[in-house]
Structure 1
Amino acid sequence: MLKLAPAFIVLTPGGAALAERLKDACPQSLIHGKRGRVDAADVLFDDFTATVQAVFLQGRPVVGFAAAGTLIRALAPVIADKQGEPPVIAIAEDGAAVVPLLGGHRGANALATTLAGILGIDAAVTTAGDRRFAVALDAPPAGWRLGNAEDYKAFTATLLGGEAVSLQGEAPWLAESGLPFADDAALRLEATERVGTPAADCLVYHPARLCLGVGCERNADPAELQTLVRSVLTQAGLSPLAVAGVFSIDVKADEAAVLALAESLGVPARFFDAATLEAETPRLANPSDLVFREVGCHGVAEGAALAAAGPQGELIVAKTKSQRATCAVALAPTIVDAKRVGRGRGTLSVIGTGPGDPVWRTPEAEAAVLRATDLVGYGLYLDLLGPLAAGKARHGYELGEEEKRVRVALDLAAEGRDVALVCSGDPGIYAMATLVFELLERGGREDWSRVGVTVMPGVSALQAAAARAGAPIGHDFCTISLSDLLTPWEAIERRLKAAAEGDFVIAFYNPVSKRRTRQLAAAVEILKGHRPADTPVVLARNLGREGETFTVVDLAKLTADMVDMLTVVLVGSSETRRVARSDGTAWVYTPRGYAGKAVKDSEKIAGNAA
């Protein structure tokens, strides 16, 4: 199964049409089109090689509608880790061939087969084991893990050399394959939740049937819980690779020791409320009235293990204690999909999508959107996500409903959902990140405090405007919001005077609105007293979106009617300069003093020579 949605990379209109046809098979995939050749795409690019390499290095599957050799030459410099490389597939522009090039057993073969099926052809899968036996022994299906991957290569070589295999345990995906089975075979396959007998002639597969229930005191040392669990599994002869998940009571959803344990085992951490755990009391080996008085159920570790394993599950390791932690193990009758059991720790990713153009959206932010179950934000910002928002629950709000947005996002995350709170630009610059922490501080909500909050930086409108202009913020600068809806004008005025006297380059956010124009005029009057009338002022509107405009005017000529709420205003310092461009416009930059340094260096060199 693919962890990230593929990037469809097209060079021609024919490739773009084919990508559109196949796109529905890969929800949230993006079509990257060559600018000037492809009329419409989710993302336009200029440099094919750079684009393919960037997607590959992000770990995102690459589906290139190009010749296999073209893709190989583009990726050759960055192919280094066979175990970590994402799938790469080449598709002929006419749809006549689908070839998995890399990552066959990490999703490329399966995806190629799916796409080829839509086109009515066979995928050109070349992996030997897949073709001969219709099974990938080094890539077991979901819910299974190979315990001794280091023996796979030698085992497969012997198998392809003509040896038969035997199967111990139940594994339908192996039993129903095309492997050559024989009772007296020299090669063995084992399917067990126990450690097994891994060897060069025996591959051991572990089904995710073990449910690990844990409990611990608040702020227990993560190392203590991990040591306890490893010891319990070892003494019972159970494989950590057969653990389906780490399970506990919901008040432990933010417990560092529990989360660290799940991460170390590579499984989800899932949680139950006290009522669910209390329902398991008749099956507990060690019910405790003390635990009931503290958390509302008679057992956390045993109860969570049994609740996860289901009504037919069996407690195979009773509660075992260390100084500050407990654990128990239950065996489920079938493979457990932990993500469907209990609920996870809710997460809130506060992301910035940049000023507008998808190319300014960071891979981290895109990954958060793809991971999210719910998207919350101003409706326009959600619309700008385009295909990334497909299949997500959308919670769109109007301007002015900022606090409502954050409350809804925290409520959803407190329910165990993965939420992305979507802002434009950078979420920490005049955006929603500050309000998240303000509400956490004054909210008094224990369920909110258990949410995992992550703020992800974005490209701000300030940075985008500066880049369009050249380098106006190359020296000291500040930002000031001219909106007095939340900040008294007196405070804004003090900051304006201080910034003017300090000779900072100033970026004005919220410069004007339909009902608020006097603030910009007042700011200009203050600045005129501290810097030249011809100081460059950059006006950048609708950055990265349709209708983008960019102009440079003198400070003395700046008026409110040149600006609206979609405009970022950058006012230069007394040192800010213009550099003429060939098209009659000018670059704007603020020097840092390199010219003076160069003079001093040359004088020093001349003095040393003398």
Structure 2
Amino acid sequence: MVIAWQEFQPIGAIATTPSAVRHLQPLCQAVGVHLWIPEALQADFPDLPVYSGSLKDHLAQIWPQYRSLLFGLATGAVVRLIAPLLKDKTTDPAILVLDEAGKFTISLCSGHRGGADRLAGLVSHMLGTTPVITGASAHLGLPGIDILGTPFGWMRGTGDWTGVSAAIAKGEPVRVIQEVGSTLWCDRLPDGHPFRFGFAESAQTEAEKARVWISFTQRQFSPESEVPKVQWHPRVLWVGVGCERGTPREVIEKAIGQVFRAYHLAEGAIAGIATLDLKADEVGLVELCGDRNFPLTTFQAHTLRQISVPNPSAVVDSEVGTPSVAEAAAMLAAGAEQLLVPKQIYRAQPEEVPVHAGKAVTVAIAQAEYEYTARLGQLYLVGTGPGNLDQMTAAAKSAIASADAIIGYSLYIDLISPLLRPGQIIEALPITQEKQRAQRAIELAQWGLTVAVISSGDCGIYGMAGLVLEALQAQGWDGKTPGVQVFPGISALQATASRVGAPLMHDFCAISLSDLLTPWEVIQRRLTAAAQADFITALYNPKSQTRTQQIAIAQSIFLQYRSPQTPVAIARSVYRQDEEIYLTTLEKMLETPIDMLTTVLIGNSNTRTLGEWMITPRGYHLGQDICQPED
């Protein structure tokens, strides 16, 4: 199962007609959807779970069990069923509807926060339906303002989210003031977008109809303001903590909260807690980090003492071997050379804590350059096939549609553009920068993003899969973080073969004529071996503007061992709009246009042509009963 589906699990589905069941059944096996049917359909579908009684009562019973629900019902009926159960868009499940004909997948409810819009895209790729997204931001080609920072782990702050969303939907000017956090979200905004980027000190203008703050500051918005405002908090603040042994979690949390309020900082901007390694088992710290989803980073005393801090303590040095815990730990965790907030000492009143419990907490804060995403990054290595979306697997489409970032050669990105969605990071690098693509993808995945690296054909055949894995290995990858998933695609040799018949019915091989990564002497030896062994041979990268002689040399090598009349297929841009297919012979193959977008198939000694078709016998004899096993 594609990892992208996991965030929507568990997924439930309900179908009340045989056709709706058949439309939804592929999702059960492919991605683990739990499909419910009424008792009346049990005889036709005995392996599916059955509900009895009214659907309204059954839905109320299973509603808390699922993060997403997909209905094979009329939209009106679904609206009446779910209306009494809806509470808040922050907690309601994603609701989707599949029409009776199985042509449309409708994102009905919780499109942004619940992920119904993205799930509709995944379902559509799997079932071959058309996604119906009615949200205004999607229509404008914009990410929803309430999910803008989700890929980067930002925390949603206070504000009038409905008012700001309404202003964006109307196309009204919206001021964006970003003080910290990644700006990758705004690199691919469509022309005519409503955002106006400014600074905090800029005065509000009459044209400004809404405002978005992206910062670590906690702002208080007046409910009487005529301009709706919201705030996102990138997690860039590392909190250094020192405390007495046995300090309760409540005291540590109160100390942090007091410091943040005093300096007008948002607790949503906390990246994590940093301290001395002796505090790794401090119960109060461990509980706080577990409950608040904070990473707890610890450092040894000799590491901390190397950091120059503004407020060292000889007392602390004598007790734990370093003159600073909170300040030094915050700076190390953040990778900062100075503090945002120097150490503040909080002492709990005796009545606040049990007898013999720790009462003193030291807090310091440093700002990191990059936000903490709190996500496990993923690398999707995707083969897009020949370039026609119909030739891609549903899993490959889902991987691309769900990824936070897409990296690839610009031509290949253009070919899969219908799969892209608003808010995705798109980075196209030139065809000669494969290593840079691999490194950039790894960098983003290590940061916590889900990155799809696309290759034409199959990503594991002269594609990016091997290069990415090699780069990971060189960096000491543990095989787990970031996660890697490979999505195969139809290779160029398969696509070419399908256009000319059945030329690959016997043993074959593929050889790239590009000597950028392989010495030409090695390529020549492989060509000779393939020709001598009578392999059907696919030639990749046969000719470029500067590399013109290799294809002629390849032809001369094969002419030493094959008949001049050996069938040859030459295919350019297979399954694309400018596709060109030629059937010729080994002797005349150079008379046909050949370039880097061309694949050449040279038949073996038994390959023949039949009209416009190229056929290589498998070795069977017509009328013979004994057959070899199929592959």
What TM-score do you get using the length of structure 1 for normalisation?
Answer: 0.49
Between structures 1 and 2, the one with greater helix share: 1
What TM-score do you get using the length of structure 2 for normalisation?
Answer: 0.48
